């Protein structure tokens, strides 16, 4: 859309607004044409989001939490957000243990010697360079492992097999992620020398899916890895031949205390410094196998792009705070650090984009109950993007969860997750998986949300052209 026409659409009421105090500015109404124009401009022309995710994945690449690569990503982020015209761009650092991957391999020693594709899970125990050798003991679920007597497991390598099905809402992840999150601890407490799981993924590529797990309840760290889905199926066929199966497993890793991570924060300052803040963002860190394009390069890109579209239109009443959280993958450490520092500040909304780059298909928000008028405005503003309201939805976003627990109202703009777990936490999480048109639809949705909840945008000086 032509910029002049766009400005005319937004700001037809501008002369009248100039006479009024900021608190009496007209609020967006249901079907507000100014919100619609902002949304439609983002849908048609957004390039900010693509530029961010293309830049980050190309110029930084993988950025495992607390490593030197994540530090480079923070520096990159500060430069980019400053260049985009955000205010108060800064890093809020914190320390944490740093875990890094070394040599890893798995092979069947007998009865049918062959190599399998494996990747260590985060914070796996390390083998020596020589690896370990043990007999495989099979379980079809985490519950089956839980129920097994210790003597069936002791001295063996546990294998948990389970099938995750694709779902638009990604609902399988909670249930099927449990073997990854809890399996290593249970196996260790029963005396296993190692554990391999079928990847938490919906693809049939020969790529293992990594992800976090922690040893709890005093469990001694043991080597813990994920086999790719085709390799897990291969192992099942080998086991079905009925002979004892022996695996040689090498999973070398290092863990050190005193690593550094941090949140990168940027703002669009509101006209009313005391008004509750609109908090949006995603996480800057990624796993180390791909380049963290869909997890979560797109989340940080979408939310910053949306904030920039509001900046293009003028100055919101409420401050928009964009946070690119550090160290989400090892357990949401950035989100906890943010809540510890800012959880007591008044937030008007908290929302995170962290489910890939496919289109937003529904939304839900606590505002349904606490501010039904705003909820109605959101419903109207998002409907033209093919987004329906979900009155039964829940808060999501690991990074904003602690702030929501501290009292911030939540919003979830839910992306279509049908394809997400084909690539999640694998070497396949790369830029080419992003559909630019669906990415723009995401930006349009977040822009519309921010415009509705902005408290009213006062047209300002035309923004200089920035990246
Ligand atoms: Zn993520
Ligand atoms: Zn992730």
Report the separation in Å between the CA atom of 283 and the middle of ligand 1, taken as the mean of its atom positions.
6
Please state the domain count of the chain: 2
Distance 328 CA to ligand 2 centre (A): 8
Please pick, among 41, 70, 104, 328, the residue that the annotation labels catalytic. 328
**Is the separation of the CB atoms in 400 and 55 below 8 Å?**
no
Q: What is the pTM of this model?
A: 0.92
Residues 121 and 212 in one domain: yes
What pLDDT does residue 12 have? Answer: 34
Q: Is residue 48 located within the same domain as residue 162?
A: no
Distance 329 CA to ligand 2 centre (A): 5
Closest CA to 121 of 13, 205, 31, 194: 194
| Ligand 2 midpoint to CA 425 (Å) | 6
pLDDT tens, position by position, for the chain (467 residues)?
444 444 434 433 333 333 333 444 455 567 789 999 999 999 999 999 999 999 999 999 999 999 999 999 999 999 999 999 999 999 999 999 999 999 999 999 999 999 999 999 999 999 999 999 999 999 999 999 999 999 999 999 999 998 888 889 888 888 878 889 999 999 999 999 999 999 999 999 999 999 999 999 999 999 999 999 999 999 999 999 999 999 999 999 999 999 999 999 999 999 999 999 999 999 999 999 999 999 999 999 999 999 999 999 999 999 999 999 999 999 999 999 999 999 999 999 999 999 999 999 999 999 999 999 999 999 999 999 999 999 999 999 999 999 999 999 999 999 999 999 999 999 999 999 999 999 999 999 999 999 999 999 999 755 555 55
DSSP-assigned letters across all residues of 357-403: SSPEEEEEETHHHH-HHHHHHHHHHHGGGT-EE-TT-----TTTHHH
DSSP codes joined into one string, 215-235: --TTPPP--EEEE-HHHHHHH
Catalytic: 328? yes
Q: Is 271 within the bounds of a domain?
A: yes
- Which ligand does the CA of 425 lie closest to? 2
Number of separate helices (H) and strands (E) present in the chain? 17, 16
Based on the fold, state whether residues 136 and 38 are members of the same structural domain: no
Strands 194-198 and 224-227: parallel
- Is residue 326 one of the residues assigned to a domain? yes
Ligand nearest to the CA of 423: 2
CATH code: domain of residue 407: 3.40.630.10
Sequence-distant (≥ 6) Cβ neighbours of residue 372 within 8 angstroms: none
- What does the pLDDT read at residue 145? 97
Question: What is the Å distance from ligand 1's center to 18 Cα?
Answer: 42
- pLDDT for 49: 99
Residue 209 lies in a domain: yes
Which of 186, 218, 244 is where one domain is finished? 244
Residue 68 placed within a domain: yes
Residue 467 placed within a domain: no
Using CA atoms, how far apart are residues 141 and 179, in angstroms rounded to an integer? Answer: 7
Report yes or no on 101 lying in a domain. Answer: no
Q: What are phi and psi of 152, to 5 degrees?
A: -80, -15
Residue 457 has φ and ψ, to the nearest 5°, of -105, 125
CA of 331 to the centre of ligand 1 (A): 10
**What is the 424 CA–ligand 2 centroid distance (Å)?**
7
Same domain, 76 and 170: no
Dihedral Cα 453, 457, 463, 466, nearest 10 deg: 0
Number of other CB atoms surrounding residue 44 within 10 Å? 10
Own/partner pairs for 140-146, CB < 8 Å, 24+ apart?
Answer: 141/179, 142/178, 142/179, 142/182, 142/183, 142/186, 145/179, 145/183, 145/186, 145/187, 145/190, 146/186
pLDDT at residue number 462:
52
* Closest by CA position to 67, among listed 92, 98, 96: 98
* Pair 362, 385 in one domain: yes
Q: Which ligand does the CA of 209 lie closest to?
A: 2
How far, in Å, is the centroid of ligand 1 from the Cα of 228? 20
Judged by its nearest atom, the ligand closest to the C-alpha of residue 353 is 1
Token duo for residue 414: 């839910």
Query: Which tokens belong to 267?
Result: 């703002």
Q: How far is the CA of 355 from the centre of ligand 1 (A)?
A: 6
CA of 328 to the centre of ligand 1 (A): 7
Whether residues 178 and 214 share a domain: the answer is yes
Give the SS3 label for residue 46: coil
Residue of 256, 333, 299, 238 whose CA lies nearest to 57: 299
Q: What is the DSSP code string of 421-443?
A: HHHTTSTT-SGGG--HHHHHHHH
Q: Do 435 and 288 belong to one domain?
A: yes
Fill in the DSSP letter of residue 22. G
Q: How far is the CA of 136 from the centre of ligand 1 (A)?
A: 32
Q: β-strands 315-316, 457-458: how paired?
A: antiparallel
Per-residue model confidence (pLDDT) at position 465: 53
User: Rg of the Cα trace of the chain?
Assistant: 24
Q: Is 410 helix (H, G, I), strand (E, B) or coil?
A: strand
pLDDT of residue 174: 80
Cα four-point dihedral sign 196, 202, 207, 212: negative
Ligand nearest to the CA of 281: 1
- Residue showing tokens 């073997």: 179
pLDDT of residue 27: 58
Q: Which of these three, 200, 219, 244, is where a domain ends?
A: 244
CATH of the domain at 227: 3.50.30.30
Task: Check residue 280 and give its pLDDT.
Answer: 99
- Examine residue 21 and state whether it is found in any structural domain, yes or no: no
Report how far residue 139's alpha carbon sits from residue 148's, in angstroms, rounded to the nearest whole number. Answer: 9
Cβ atoms of 452 and 309 within 8 Å: the answer is: no
Among 244, 274, 303, the domain boundary falls at 244
3-state secondary structure 217-284: CCCCCCCEEEECHHHHHHHHHHHHCCCCCEEEEEEEEEEEEEEEEEEEEEEECCCCCCCCEEEEEEEC
Ligand showing the shortest atom-to-Cα distance for residue 398:
1
* Residue 438: per-residue pLDDT: 98
CA distance 128 to 373: 61
Boundaries of domain holding 122 = 112-244
Question: Is residue 464, in this structure, part of any structural domain at all?
Answer: no
């Amino acid at each position: 859309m032509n910029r002049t026409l766009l400005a005319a659409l937004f700001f037809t009421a501008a002369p009248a607004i100039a006479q009024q105090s900021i608190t009496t500015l007209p609020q967006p109404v249901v079907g507000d044409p100014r919100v619609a124009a902002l949304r439609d401009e983002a849908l048609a022309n957004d390039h900010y989001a693509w530029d961010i995710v293309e830049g980050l994945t190309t110029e930084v690449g993988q950025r495992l939490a607390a490593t030197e690569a994540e530090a480079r990503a923070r520096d990159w982020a500060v430069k980019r957000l400053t260049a985009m015209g955000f205010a108060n761009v800064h890093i809020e650092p914190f320390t944490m243990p740093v875990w890094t991957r070394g040599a890893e391999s798995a092979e069947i020693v007998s009865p049918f010697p062959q190599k399998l594709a494996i990747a260590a899970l985060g914070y796996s125990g390390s083998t020596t360079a020589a690896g370990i050798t043990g007999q495989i003991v099979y379980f079809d679920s985490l519950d089956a492992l839980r129920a097994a007597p210790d003597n069936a497991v002791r001295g063996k390598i546990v294998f948990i097999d389970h099938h995750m099905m694709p779902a638009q809402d990604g609902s399988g992840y909670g249930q099927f992620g449990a073997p990854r999150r809890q399996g290593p601890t249970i196996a260790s407490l029963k005396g296993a020398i190692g554990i391999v799981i079928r990847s938490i993924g919906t693809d049939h590529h020969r790529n293992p899916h990594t992800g976090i797990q922690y040893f709890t309840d005093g469990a001694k760290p043991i080597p813990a890895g994920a086999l790719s889905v085709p390799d897990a199926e291969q192992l099942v066929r080998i086991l079905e031949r009925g002979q004892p199966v022996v695996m040689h497993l090498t999973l070398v890793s290092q863990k050190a205390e005193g690593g550094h991570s941090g949140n990168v924060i940027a703002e669009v300052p509101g006209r009313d410094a005391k008004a509750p803040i609109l908090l949006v963002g995603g996480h800057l860190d990624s796993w180390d196998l791909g380049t963290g394009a869909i997890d979560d390069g797109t989340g940080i890109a979408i939310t910053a792009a949306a904030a920039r579209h509001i900046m293009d239109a003028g100055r919101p009443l409420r401050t928009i705070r964009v946070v690119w959280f550090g160290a989400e993958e090892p357990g949401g450490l950035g989100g906890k650090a943010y809540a510890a520092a800012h959880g007591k500040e008044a937030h008007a909304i908290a929302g995170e984009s962290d489910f890939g780059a496919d289109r937003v298909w529904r939304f839900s928000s606590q505002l349904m109950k606490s501010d039904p008028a705003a909820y109605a405005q959101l419903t109207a503003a998002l409907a033209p993007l093919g987004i329906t309201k979900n009155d039964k939805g829940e808060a999501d976003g690991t990074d904003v969860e602690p702030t929501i627990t501290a009292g911030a109202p939540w919003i979830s703009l839910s992306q279509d997750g049908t394809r997400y777990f084909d690539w999640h936490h694998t070497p396949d999480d790369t830029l080419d998986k992003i559909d630019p048109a669906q990415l723009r639809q995401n930006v349009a949705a977040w822009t519309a949300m921010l415009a509705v909840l902005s408290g009213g945008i006062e047209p300002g000086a035309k923004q200089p052209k920035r990246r």
